[in-house]
Chain A
Amino acid sequence: MPDNTDQRLIQSLARNPAASPASSDQQIDAEFNEGAYLRAFPDVALAVKRGDMASGLFHYASCGRFEGRLKTAAYLSARAGNDTELAPEPERRVTPLFSIDVTIASGSGAVFLVGWTDDRQDSLVSISVVVRPGRPCTWARFPRLRRIDVETVVQPKDQYNFGFWVFCNDDAAPLRGEDTECVVQLRFAGGALAEVRRPLLREGNAQLRDTVMGYFSGIGYHGNRSVEAFRGLDLGAGDALISFNRTLSHAIAAGAAIERFGPDRKRFTGSIIVPIFGKSDFFFLQSCLYAGGKGIGDYEFIYVINSPDLIELLLREARLAEMIYGLSQTLVMLPDNLGFGAANNLAARLARSDRLLCVNPDVFPRVGDWAQRHSDLVDSLPAEQTRFFGTSLYYDDGSLMHGGMYFELDTGLHLARDSIARHTMLRVEHYGKGAPAWANQFVASRKVPAVTGAFISITREWFEKLGGFSQDYIFGHYEDADLCLKSLAKESPVWVHDIPMWHLEGNGAKRLAPHDGGALLNRWLFSRTWHSMIVPDLIGPAPPHRLLQQISNRDEHVKLAAEKPIPVLVAKSSRRLPGKKPALIRTR
């Protein structure tokens, strides 16, 4: 098992002790002999024969060693009578060692399977799960991964990915239903077929998504983690997860319930949309810190609660906020975590204004009249500058957190047996991250490649024309940049304007292992989706893309084609591409 296996998977394994992985801190004793072991211990032989246990070696490695079975009279006797048979059993040469750790299916037919095999001599070519005879689900492409526990036992001389995992989302698959047992078949290139009967654990769709994403976040690899993870997703698992999550999102959104609090109006100047996950405090903090500011009465708040366990508490808080702050607030209550993009899309449909402000729960106004400033800015600037914009965000220590985003390209290598393959992956960086508050160049009104989803202001019309946030991204990360690029692709770059806000980045939601898995998958999806558009025209803090060449003078917002160049400092954390200019870049 990977070191950081999701707790849920561990629980699954606990429910299924026969699937325990190989022990991780031992070597195989020289005295071990498979044939003698099976003859000495009929219980083990029976388990292997039934398929409950991969082999005698597996049993020995996982528990027999600790029971001291090689010292028992039965084993010594069996071994003494078979000194001439110390060579491995013929079957062991034919069928590589393997184990299926867990098989989980959802009611809709999605299946998740984790296992390992020592197929160095005879490659694993397909995996099948059979619930009903004659209707196997078979996969010939599946990610491989590192299994440190197996390595500890088999002591390979070279790096080898013994592990594998499968995720398949096929709602027509025969795995739908309530069956609780299945047969897993492994076929090897040499023709061997290994078969084992396994419990088929059942989880709800959302739970299975979380299990898989949590597992994915903790997988270990030989080589570059991101490259190897991306390669695994390329084998179909990525698309299967996206498709599964999309279906799941529809179901979650369909289960939404809505309650409105505070002053009721038919129309507002803007609708502030805030997804909440895992932390409730930010609801009353935002209620308090946004309330009372000049112009805030013209805005409504729509909170999308992605954590069902918080609904009761937030309903109470909303009743309190109604009395204490008098804001217009709508709670959209969901039966499970819809994720950032889909939650915003759902709230946008409920908005009672033509202006959507997508705001993270940990974003707070830095100035009391921010709402008025926002309204004035939208009213006074040309439409193309306010159609879609972000703003300056600051850390609690006063340094800049965000003044727009740009893209960088990472390169990683995949080392195959006979070759080295180069892979590229996109990364999002923030202008001026950590810069002192007086570094105005990062917050000057200007066009940028992208803005963070922590604060987005966009006309509803444009949001809808862009199709809203992509719902292919799981949980959160990268859908903000995705939306910005959709806008750029439609010839309307996003802007940054300076309505300073605090952003307690990373504090707004509870982050768990599945969310790390989602972030990794989302980066893969983002790279695959936008690579051709971003490389090379949108790479770096001063990208040469034609629509980003004109940066307005910060003192003359209206003027699109600025006469004077504005210096753009590169954030200290950003990586420079070879051949690019050093720290201070002048751009037009």
Chain B
Amino acid sequence: MPKTILLLSAYHPELLRGGSQVVCHELFEELQAHSQGRCYFLASVDDSYPALFKSGARITGFDGRANEFLFLSRHHDYWWHKAGDPLVVASFIEFLQVTKPDVVHFHHFMTLGIDLITVVRRVQPSCRIIVTFHEFLAICAADGHMVRRSDRSLCGRATSVRCHQCFPERRPEEFFVRKMWFMQHLRHVDRFTCPSRFMIEHYVNWGIPRDKIVHVPNGQRQYGPVPIGGGGQVKRNRFGFFGQLHDAKGAHIVLRAVHSLRESGFTDFTVDLNGTNIQCASPEVRQEIETFLAAEKKRPLNAQNVFYNGSYHLDQLHTRMARIDWCLVPSVWWEIFGLVISEAWMFGKPVICSNVGGMAERVKDEVDGLHFEMANPRDLADVIRRACTEDGLWQKLHDALPAYPRREVMADNFLRLYDDADNEPA
């Protein structure tokens, strides 16, 4: 029987780029095109777009598109991830009553409210609720990264005392009750999904029942023409970084590696930086990147190794990818899935990535890509030098690249979940 599906996204990908909203919208487009039922896309927007806040409205349409709506987030509590405005919640209830979804699929709760899950259960008691985790925000108050704030090391488990160590100004009890708060809302969820398998262990260790959480890889459409073959190039010395320029994505690690290579006398390579949102970086990392790029510009053109290309739209991805041989994914956190890995595969580029989390799970070292030690620029420099100089390496890895996860497969997986709790994705 055709179902009515409501997808909830934190932000609209056309207003603020980000992995979870991109995936959610990809799913929406696929379900719109191929599912027999109705599908609605409700994306939050915060006060970064004040012009979209229509007077007196809490939920509005979006740019004249059918079935796409904006949730005008107000008074959101970013510590508890709690809906803060009764009027917004009232409008959401009304929206549920109007759309009558059989399935509500949360792709996030930030700027929406984890408590909206409970609202859905109250308003639509028989509705199927799916939550996709795109990072560890329920577990970790430190931006959901599970990176220790003290030494930036990866965190393997959240406990009251360990979390208090990251936030010394907050008592351990606060983290205890924070977990109870999240768990109380998440108990209404029928199925959780994670795009990477390693995430499942984190969530199970935290308290999500293993039989309620499944792996559904993020899928995407093809963003441009697929290059044919590996080409006849001799040198494979062009590297590209795609992503946001904040700390977690590790662009600064690449720049440190460049510095290290130059110091060692190796300069026969280029690095393209593609991305934006440097304003989200810490002041130290922002200054490091900006200082490097400013100095780079002052070099003679033939002495420049790093080129900053700025932000890009998905339609431009294939041209950006065409300029490189290798895709660098130097994230200094777990990196849940790494859409950029899929995008690199989409355009036939082997990936050089940090040896942790979703990156290590997806990219097989020495098989279809290369790993380096997370946050170690000297190790990255060594890998870059090897990638540039080892004969046949690029071709070997290129030939072993897996197909990128396609969105129609993702949609099929989710449709099975929407239909039946016991019908596991393939």
| CB-based contact B82/A284 at 8 Å | yes
| CB-based contact B180/A320 at 8 Å | no
| Interchain CB contact (< 8 A) of B181 among A288, A292, A362, A507 | A288
The verdict on B303 contacting chain A, using a C-beta distance below 8 Å, is no
| CB-based contact A320/B86 at 8 Å | yes
Contacts of A60 in B (CB 8 A): none
Contacts of A288 in B (CB 8 A): 115, 118, 181, 184-185
CA distance A361 to B119 in the complex (A): 23
Max chain A CB contacts within 10 Å: which of B89, B176, B177?
B177
The verdict on B122 contacting chain A, using a C-beta distance below 8 Å, is yes
Max chain A CB contacts within 10 Å: which of B160, B171, B180?
B180
Contacts of A316 in B (CB 8 A): 84-86
| Interchain CB contact (< 8 A) of A396 among B82, B85, B119, B177 | B177
| CB-based contact B184/A324 at 8 Å | no
CA distance A362 to B176 in the complex (A): 12
Contacts of B185 in A (CB 8 A): 288
The verdict on A325 contacting chain B, using a C-beta distance below 8 Å, is yes
The verdict on A397 contacting chain B, using a C-beta distance below 8 Å, is yes
Q: A323-B86, A323-B93, A396-B160 are in contact. Are A364 and B177 (CB under 8 A)?
A: yes
| Interchain CB contact (< 8 A) of B89 among A289, A320, A504 | A320
The verdict on B90 contacting chain A, using a C-beta distance below 8 Å, is yes
CA distance A364 to B180 in the complex (A): 10
Contacts of A576 in B (CB 8 A): none
Nearest neighbor of B114 in chain A, beta-carbon distance: A288
| Interchain CB contact (< 8 A) of B180 among A289, A292, A319, A397 | A289
| CB-based contact A281/B80 at 8 Å | yes
Contacts of B82 in A (CB 8 A): 284
The verdict on A285 contacting chain B, using a C-beta distance below 8 Å, is yes
Contacts of A291 in B (CB 8 A): 118, 184
| Interchain CB contact (< 8 A) of B184 among A289, A319, A397 | A289
Instruction: Report, as a range, how many residues of chain A touch the other chain.
Output: 20 to 34
Instruction: Report, as a range, how many residues of chain B touch the other chain.
Output: 20 to 34
Max chain A CB contacts within 10 Å: which of B82, B93, B172, B185?
B82
Contacts of B90 in A (CB 8 A): 323
The verdict on B370 contacting chain A, using a C-beta distance below 8 Å, is no
The verdict on A326 contacting chain B, using a C-beta distance below 8 Å, is yes
| Interchain CB contact (< 8 A) of B83 among A285, A320, A507 | A320
CA distance A289 to B182 in the complex (A): 10
Identify which of residues 270-327 in chain A touch chain B, using a CB-to-CB cut-off of 8 Å. Answer: 281, 284-285, 288-289, 291-292, 316, 319-320, 323-326
Nearest neighbor of A282 in chain B, beta-carbon distance: B177
Q: A288-B115, A320-B86, A323-B89 are in contact. Are A504 and B160 (CB under 8 A)?
A: no
| Interchain CB contact (< 8 A) of B86 among A289, A319, A397 | A319
The verdict on B173 contacting chain A, using a C-beta distance below 8 Å, is yes
CB distance from B158 to the nearest CB of A (A): 13
CB distance from B106 to the nearest CB of A (A): 15
* Mask: chain A, 105-116; 1 = CB below 8 Å from B; 0 = not: 000000000000
CB distance from B117 to the nearest CB of A (A): 10
| CB-based contact B119/A323 at 8 Å | yes
Nearest neighbor of A315 in chain B, beta-carbon distance: B86
Identify which of residues 487-512 in chain A touch chain B, using a CB-to-CB cut-off of 8 Å. Answer: 502, 504, 507
| CB-based contact A285/B177 at 8 Å | yes
CB distance from B1 to the nearest CB of A (A): 29
Nearest neighbor of B115 in chain A, beta-carbon distance: A324
Contacts of B85 in A (CB 8 A): 316
CA distance A316 to B184 in the complex (A): 21
CB distance from B111 to the nearest CB of A (A): 16
Q: A284-B82, A320-B83, A323-B89 are in contact. Are A289 and B122 (CB under 8 A)?
A: no
CA distance A281 to B118 in the complex (A): 18
Please list the residues of chain B having a beta carbon within 8 angstroms of any beta carbon in chain A: 80, 82-86, 89-90, 93, 115, 118-119, 122, 160, 171-174, 176-177, 180-181, 184-185
Can you report 10 A-B residue pairs in the complex whose CB atoms are below 8 A from each other? A285-B180, A285-B181, A288-B115, A288-B181, A292-B118, A320-B83, A320-B86, A324-B89, A396-B176, A507-B171
4 cross-chain pairs, A with B, having the tightest CB-CB distances, nearest first: A396-B176, A319-B86, A504-B173, A396-B173
With A320-B84, A324-B83, A502-B180 known, 16 other A-B pairs at CB within 8 A are A285-B177, A285-B181, A288-B181, A288-B184, A288-B185, A319-B86, A320-B89, A323-B86, A323-B89, A324-B89, A324-B119, A325-B118, A396-B172, A396-B173, A504-B176, A504-B177
